[in-house]
Chain A
Amino acid sequence: MNDASHSKFNRYARIYAALWRNSVVREMSFKANFLLWIFVELLWFGLQLSFIAVIYQHTDRIATWSKWQVVFLVGASQFIQQIFAALFLSNCTQLSEYVRTGRLDFLLLLPASTRFLVSFRQVDLGAFVNSVAGAAVMIYAGRQLQLHPTFGNLAGFLPLCAAGILIHYSLMFLLATVSFWTVRAQGIVWSYYNLFNLARLPDGAFRPGVFKAVFTFVLPMLLVANVPVKRLVELPAAPWEWPVLLILAATCFGVSEWAWRASVRHYTSASS
């Protein structure tokens, strides 16, 4: 890194640290609510797991996936989603509010990248707690499967998770930029939850067809958790899967950046 980019990096790191401090202070002023939200998320996670438990009362396998492999998948999907939620989710849903109220003007005037500020403004600490629950389920399922991941396995797993988080973020951000055109965009979060939920299903359950193709190559929900998990749980994976995940992560990010620039150009503020 040369000096200029180094100081730029330092500046953004300092801004981000300040945003973290603000978020901690804000969360701690509503402690009961903070704990209740963690409980709500854990309850929903428990529901997903009980669904798997009930299904495996009636079958030994879903395609090639055994019970604990699917539990591992649900845990991994929870882990990826919650890290995404911790860093980005509330920021993405706030965007339509900034547009509606015209507060985006104020953010555009600040001497820092607006996309950076919009994306990183708040940190949801409760979601970090819930991502630990996802990790705990992965570890437990891993023990049931008698997995002994090497350092190399984990070094392959975590970057693929990061690619999954980037895909979630890019698609959600893309959906949020729609609010520049429609203003009212409450349906966005709800729509995304429906997509989200696909990520925790084993891809083997889907026979080749339009549905599978769309959710693999266009909205890659069936790759986000499945690809990293298959590397760890010793399920056969096609050799193209992980490169495609990485390429699609970069593509989704690129498309969301393009849409963001087009949207800001279109933006004419709320009041005037």
Chain B
Amino acid sequence: MNKYWHVFQIGIQNTLVYRVNFLFRASFGLIPLMATIYLWRAIYASNPDQTGVAGYTLAGMTSYYLLSTVVDALTAVADDDWQIAEDIKDGNISQLLLKPMDYLAYRLSLFLAGRVVYTTAAVLPVAAMLLLQHSFFVLPPDGLTLAVFAASTLLTALLQFLISYTMALLAFWVLEVSTFIFILFAFEYIAGGHLFPLDILPPVLAQALNLTPFPYQLYFPVSVYLGRVTGAELWRGLAVQAAWVLVMFGVARLVWRRGIKHYSAVGG
């Protein structure tokens, strides 16, 4: 455990180099966020006699986007997947294999370090944004909701990491993984709830999406916070999310084992 703590610390130091870059990223990311909020405001203004969109008030809708920005800052994979693919392509992985370290745990430590630095850099612009929109920002209904939200956010981070990790391992087989990463990203973007809350979709579509892991990569923790998932459904959702983490962990291990075999066959 101690060695991964060291990896984590090294990761912090390495990513600190990018702090200005992160600050830029977080600040520029607010532009489309503002634009989306304005767009919804215009929609609500065009339909004054309608009570809301699929049960969302304007404040609820605004909170949805603000919260997804927060959850995204805490959990999104920045360029860990590119680095993993690079490690494999360049053969850097050979020297890591010689060390008494598990590659997945090594990568997870670096991912968590990256998130800590990114979140710290993003605090300023995101906090400014929340202050600016505070009249449209709702608080969670109670303490239990907040606790479940925190747990669910942690599971989201693990799920994000494991899916990206597995995807990056494709580099064992194909030369250019970037297109695959972008295709996956596109699905996460729409089916994860980045573009809009999934429950404004026609119910059949929303239910179909719930059978995939994507909603658990962003949408689920956000709707927990907003109090849109309650009672038995809340615990069921959390269990399903945990199950997806375990499944993806198994898949990641399996793909890794196969990849290593393939790798040694090629690298000889």
Contacts and interface: CB of A to CB of B under 8 A. Distances in A.
For chain A, the bracket of interface size reads 35 or more
Interface string A28-72: 001001001101100110010011001101111111000000000
Contacts of B200: 54, 57-58
Interface stretch (A13-21, A195-203, A248-256, A264-272): A195-203
B208 interface: no
B179 A62 contact: no
B179 A63 contact: no
Interface string B20-43: 010011001101101100110111
Given A33-B176, A201-B39, A47 B46 contact: no
Contacts of A40: 179, 182-183, 186
B24 A191 contact: yes
B34 A62 contact: no
Contacts of B186: 40, 43-44, 47
Interface string B154-186: 000000000000000000000010010011001
Interface in A173-228: 184, 186-187, 190-191, 194-195, 197-198, 201, 204-207, 211
A57 B38 CA distance: 18
Contact of A194 (B21, B31, B190): B31
B260 to A, nearest CB: 25
A51 B43 CA distance: 14
A195 B31 CA distance: 7
B32 A198 contact: yes
B245 to A, nearest CB: 26
Contacts of A60: 46-47
B108 to A, nearest CB: 23
Nearest to A59: B43
B179 A58 contact: no
Interface residues of B, number: 30
Contacts of B256: none
Nearest to B79: A186
B249 interface: no
Given A47-B190, A194-B32, A58 B25 contact: no
Nearest to B179: A36
A186 B31 contact: no
Nearest to A32: B176
A206 B37 CA distance: 10
Interface string A85-96: 000000000000
Contacts of B190: 47, 50-51
B211 interface: no
Contact of A55 (B24, B28, B43, B176): B43
Nearest to A47: B190
12 contacts: A30-B176, A47-B190, A51-B190, A54-B200, A57-B202, A59-B47, A62-B42, A63-B42, A195-B31, A201-B35, A206-B42, A211-B38
Closest 4 CB pairs of A and B: A205-B42, A36-B179, A191-B28, A58-B53
Interface of A: 30, 33, 36-37, 39-40, 43-44, 47, 50-51, 54-55, 57-63, 184, 186-187, 190-191, 194-195, 197-198, 201, 204-207, 211
Interface of B: 21, 24-25, 28-29, 31-32, 34-35, 38-39, 41-43, 46-47, 53-54, 176, 179, 182-183, 186, 189-190, 195-196, 200-202
